[in-house]
Amino acid sequence: MEETYLLNVEGVKKKILHGGQGELPKFQDGSKITFHFQTLKDNFERTVIDDSREAGIPMEIIVGKMFKMEIWETLLSSMRAGEVAEFWCDAIVEEPSAYKRDTWAMSKEEKLAAVPVLHSEGNRLVLRKEFRQAAEKYQEAVICLRNLQAKEKPWEEGWLKLESLVTPLVLNYCQCQLELGEYYEVLEHTTELLQKHKDNAKAYFKRAKAHAAVWNEREAREDFLRVAHLDPAMAAAVKKELKQLGERMRKKHVEDRKRYQGLFQQPQGPRAGKGAAEGSRAAPLCTAPAASPASPHRLQRLPAGPR
């Protein structure tokens, strides 16, 4: 069949080898795609670099999550069910021993071995206050564990063991995002975590701080109080945060009052001339205050494990 260039994807070319059925898929966030693949060199021998069928396990990705391989989503979104296609991607390909393998190309043993290394590297970067780079290390570790979790039955022993490794990595990632001011991302990830771990005081604490940062006073107070209930050892930290929250909210209310104090006052017009009807007075015109502008935010998502 005819080769076609994928739209909006520089350096990628597609050739359909076997047509599929139905319409092109419209994957929703959270959809899991399962597929087999081969990676080959573009040489005369067509040397195979990687083959999922040799490993005996198909590739799986979750759509729309932060921990994803965007090129895979792009390629798969162009394919119909049952379709077999070949793609050419401009890239520099090296032997497996000559480069650091991407997470998806690692074996189960390699992924498990990489997690503590990535965790330690992230912690080291946090101590140096390199929060963005640290977040990337925690992110990569979560990729490894989520890929392994996808092959386990939810809430059984193997899945739970991996989940116990995922949770602290997600919390560390959220702490980095707090330091970077990505508060809405923290709200997203901590809420997702608390849906599975309802008694995690650290997740409530980080979510409370994110709520406070974006002026969600009621939600922040509720989460801080949950923290004190779940972990009395954090009561002092909660008390300090609640005090700071109260001070910030009072300051904000004062600023808001100053900003809008003139909006309800009747404008002082020229005095009425002689002969003006004394009983005739114009009703004051009231202008409602505009809503406070929302804080800008940018959302990124972490991969959710099976629930």
Exposed/middle/buried for 11, CB within 10 Å: 0-12, 13-18, 19+? exposed
pLDDT of residue 104: 62
- Indicate if the pLDDT at residue 285 is higher than 60: no
pLDDT of residue 267: 58
CA distance 135 to 174: 8
Q: Are 80 and 22 a contacting pair, CB within 8 Å? A: yes
Average pLDDT over residues 285-304: 43
Give the residue extent of every domain in the chain. Answer: 3-98, 103-251
**What is the tens place of the pLDDT at every residue in 64-92?**
655 445 567 778 888 888 888 888 776 54
Long-range CB contact pairs, 71-76, < 8 A, 24+:
71/9, 71/12, 72/104, 73/27, 74/6, 74/9, 74/12, 75/6, 75/12, 75/14, 76/25, 76/27, 76/33, 76/35
CA distance 220 to 207: 8
CATH class for domain 3-98?
Answer: alpha beta
CA distance 205 to 226: 8
**What is the tens place of the pLDDT at every residue in 193-249?**
999 999 999 999 999 999 999 999 999 999 999 999 999 999 999 999 999 999 999
pLDDT of residue 50: 76
Residue 269 to residues 103, 261, 266: CA-CA distances in angstroms?
Answer: 72, 19, 9
Quick check: helix, strand or coil at residue 113? helix
Higher pLDDT residue, 2 or 61? 61
Split at pLDDT 50, 70, 90, the class of 276 is very low
- Indicate if the pLDDT at residue 301 is higher than 50: no
pLDDT of residue 5: 53
Average pLDDT over residues 140-169: 92
Helix ranges (H only) for 13-69 are 52-55
Average pLDDT over residues 153-160: 91
pTM above 0.85, yes or no: no
Higher pLDDT residue, 210 or 304? 210
Split at pLDDT 50, 70, 90, the class of 259 is confident
**What is the tens place of the pLDDT at every residue in 169-198?**
999 999 999 999 999 999 999 999 999 999
Split at pLDDT 50, 70, 90, the class of 101 is low
Q: Read off the DSSP letter of residue 40.
A: E
Domain 103-251 sits in CATH at 1.25.40.10
- Indicate if the pLDDT at residue 112 is higher than 70: yes
Average pLDDT of the chain is: 79
